[in-house]
Chains A and B, each alone.
Chain A
């Protein structure tokens, strides 16, 4: 039944984005095209997704990790547009490969944080009382943890790895979603259509998941999209500190970190991964804004 609800919800939103009788696909695209920044954002993210999907298929992991000691520290040139790093590996190839890592982590972090935070928020808002208090105190507790410190702790306990970094970041992020969803639930549960649904025999679970949550989706998706960018940033930060991705993984933060030692003479080793992060976060920010514009009141007649 959960799959049905999930598919149903996605279907509904797909229908809204792709158009119903009165709002065709063309209207949606027209609205997006009107805003150049949105197009830029979509282009960036679209490009990133393509790279993330295709690159690991074309270029096997070994290529990215093999060392070529004869071509160390080559500056940017036609043969190596981003130069080579301290192990002689082509930087452009590594960065492009790293896109898939960063995107996967970013999406997984946000998905996990949502998966924990959203239902908790709905339950807290709907039931109120002691359940609400308990969940809110839990939220406060986790909000108090700085993600980097927690990641360091997790790394110390479980060993540094990108998976552990993922867990550490997700643990500190879910409370934001809980807050958003709880706030919306509190007002939504007073809505007439919730009362009407209840009068038709809907159970509490049905009311929460089928009636209230779908109405909370907009801010959750907007925040989620923006968060993917920030999650990638956080992962990079942890990689930079050495508690996230470990060599020889071509993770951008890690690459900046190792390249630090060779600044400023071999500037390209740190700079290009840094630019990659910048472009990625920018792209997701713009897309998040675009989604907010498309999904909110303007689509309502």
Chain B
């Protein structure tokens, strides 16, 4: 079995704030194989973005990666020096952020900004870089690349800016693209296009994607496998088909149930009772147990460990570990 491209083991990132310690990422495990698109789904505040930032070590004070391993191509990224890490960023791993409005520097033209990673990582000459920029703009399906290249960010629409960001992120042919809610700020028609674009380009370059989103629909459309996060933990992980067919964790089931089915009229909207926990004082044991319809006393004592319940399918729920043990 080939080694996964990225393996995250027991990652913990805490924020040491004045009000207390926020355990935003508290023991997260992830596996991303080569050439695959892995989704990371969860509500706001579940820790998905912090996980992504922790992987590339962009977490700033008061946040700190406390423990864990991030194995990329066999190397533990958390053990590298800042200089060594910087060489990874943009070249081996790159990111696309949520808001295209603010991800581009307003005082530089598109051309100049897109050239930067090329000049930095691929050691190109200016002229080579200019040509490559135009080629990249064409690849992300921007019409009239010569004109757009000379424009400034405020002269482009949101969709175009996001395409530029994707182009920049893929320009140095990274092995892993982390996309943090790349389409959340865009309207639905654009969303489909951008996701499709990402899929195509990523296959071309042979990269893997960690697609972070709160929208399960996107996961179904785009991802090969997905991890569901809740309050700082991964609660379920499976191939997408399996995840949708056989969700095991009560949270996953609840999430899937809350998707509105346009074909069923007069449907009462399913709701997950309760609210997302206060991350300063998360619940004891399994963090979902106060809202879980299947919770037992055991759930309040110890958190569920991610355990295999089927091929490539793991769940962090004490009920299901029992299932496996029973069988």
Contact = CB atoms under 8 A, between A and B. Distances in A.
B139 interface: no
A8 B152 CA distance: 14
B170 to A, nearest CB: 11
Interface residues of A, number: 26
Interface string A76-116: 00000000000000000000000000000000000000000
A133 interface: no
- B89, B95, B107, B121: most-surrounded residue (chain A CB, <10 A): B107
Contacts of B87: 201
B250 interface: no
B102 A193 contact: yes
Contacts, number: 81
Contacts of A301: 154-155
A266 interface: no
A198 interface: yes
Interface string B259-294: 000000000000000000000000000000000000
B227 interface: no
A202 B103 contact: no
Interface stretch (A145-153, A209-217, A252-260, A286-294): A209-217
B48 to A, nearest CB: 16
A30 interface: no
Contacts of B152: 20
A2 interface: no
Nearest to A210: B116
Contacts of B58: 195, 198-199
A200 B90 contact: yes
B89 A215 contact: no
A191 interface: yes
A196 B165 contact: yes
Given A192-B99, A201-B90, A8 B104 contact: no
B59 to A, nearest CB: 11
A203 interface: yes
A217 B102 contact: no
Given A192-B102, A199-B95, A301-B155, A215 B107 contact: yes
Interface of B: 56, 58, 86-91, 94-95, 97, 99, 102-109, 112, 116-117, 120-121, 147, 150-152, 154-155, 165, 168-169
